[in-house]
């Protein structure tokens, strides 16, 4: 497969997953802020700032919004095109990557992605957001699920499919960890969190709902919210499809199907690093995570995911581009010698 095609499919998938996760995070944070109405404006701002910090965009946000307010955070995360991680920017970039590989994706997929793009660019999107923000975010989440459904139902299981899967699951693992880290200021530096307050329980429940994990949590643990159980479900669950371990398992499988290497070996750094991270998640426990410190653990986890993404780029994208350039230079030299 051409490196240009692989790169576009990979990033198209990542940006759709990013838009979906940001919509989930802002939607639940907005609903949670309604439960904090009795607090002052400073408390509400403190509620929103960690959402920006969880995305790693606080420097850009501060530059664009010197006075942090709830409205500024929502605008930054949803509509602001200067923020390349906003929902609108993510959908625009997904569409741009999809446009470059139109012959590799189903027409239904392109039409749905184009419909979501035109909706977000329309005046009706802001009107919908102002009148019923929950319905607005539901529109984005439903569209993302629709795109995933079309992909599962119609895309041939070839290399293109595997790059789509790799993009989706590395982004999902990263975003699930960031959502879990959104209340990192409340975590102890080391050790498990102590007894949680009613407000704390609401925030942990919001973390679960942001990952569509509330029903799965209740089925496993009932209504009582314990941080250790939340961390176990979102980080280490083998079966929950939005957990970090499940996502890394799918990423590792996609990478090995691309190269044809079995689980017991590896042929490049991306496979080696993803296999190593999967083993750590397989054998890890929440006690070990809390001993290290949840925020410290998540920081290290995100670094490992970034390193896997960089290794994938070096293996399949950058190397191929360099090879093409080398081939072109060699052909030019041969022609000059004739």
Q: How far apart are CA 331 and CA 278, in angstroms?
A: 43
Mean of per-residue pLDDT scores for the chain: 89
Q: How far apart are CA 113 and CA 65, in angstroms?
A: 30
Buried b (16+ CB within 10 A) or exposed e, 243-260: bbbbbbbbbbbbbbbbbe
| Contact yes or no for 168/251 (Cβ under 8 A) | no
Say what the pTM is: 0.90
Give the per-residue pLDDT at 333: 47
Task: Using the predicted structure, report yes or no on whether residue 324 has a pLDDT greater than 70.
Answer: no
- High-pLDDT (> 70) share of the chain, %: 89
CA dihedral 229, 233, 235, 241 (to 10 degrees): -170
What residue has token string 């704390």?
A: 200
Average pLDDT over residues 12-26: 96
Considering Cα of 42, then 45, then 50, then 56, what sign does the dihedral take?
negative
């Amino acid at each position: 497969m051409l490196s240009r095609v692989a790169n576009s499919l990979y990033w198209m998938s990542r940006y759709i997953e990013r838009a979906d996760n940001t919509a989930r995070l802002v939607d639940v944070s907005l609903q949670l802020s309604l439960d904090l109405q009795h607090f002052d404006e400073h408390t509400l701002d403190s509620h929103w700032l960690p959402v920006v910090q969880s995305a790693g965009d606080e420097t850009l946000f501060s530059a664009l919004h010197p006075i942090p307010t709830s409205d500024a955070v929502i605008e930054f995360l949803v509509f602001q095109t200067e923020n390349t991680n906003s929902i609108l920017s993510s959908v625009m970039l997904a569409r741009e990557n999809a446009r470059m590989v139109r012959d590799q994706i189903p027409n239904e997929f392109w039409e749905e992605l184009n419909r979501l793009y035109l909706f977000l660019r329309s005046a009706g999107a802001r009107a919908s957001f102002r009148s019923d923000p929950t319905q607005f975010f539901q529109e984005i989440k439903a569209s993302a699920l629709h795109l995933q459904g079309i992909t599962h139902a119609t895309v041939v299981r070839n290399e293109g499919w595997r790059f789509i899967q790799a993009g989706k699951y590395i982004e999902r693992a990263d975003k699930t960890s960031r959502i879990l880290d959104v209340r990192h200021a409340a975590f102890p530096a080391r050790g498990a969190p102590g007894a949680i307050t009613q407000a704390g329980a609401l925030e942990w429940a919001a973390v679960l709902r942001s990952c569509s994990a509330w029903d799965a949590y209740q089925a496993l643990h009932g209504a009582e919210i314990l941080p250790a159980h939340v961390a176990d479900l979102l980080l280490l669950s083998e079966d929950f499809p939005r957990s970090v371990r499940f996502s890394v398992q799918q990423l590792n499988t996609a990478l090995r199907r691309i190269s044809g290497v079995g689980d017991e070996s590896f042929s490049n750094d991306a496979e080696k690093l993803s296999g190593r991270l999967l083993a750590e998640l397989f054998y890890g426990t929440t006690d070990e995570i809390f001993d290290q410190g949840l925020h410290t653990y998540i920081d290290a986890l995100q670094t490992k995911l970034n390193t896997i993404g960089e290794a994938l780029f070096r293996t399949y994208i950058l190397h191929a581009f360099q090879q093409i350039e080398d081939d072109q230079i060699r052909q030019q030299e041969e022609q000059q010698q004739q």
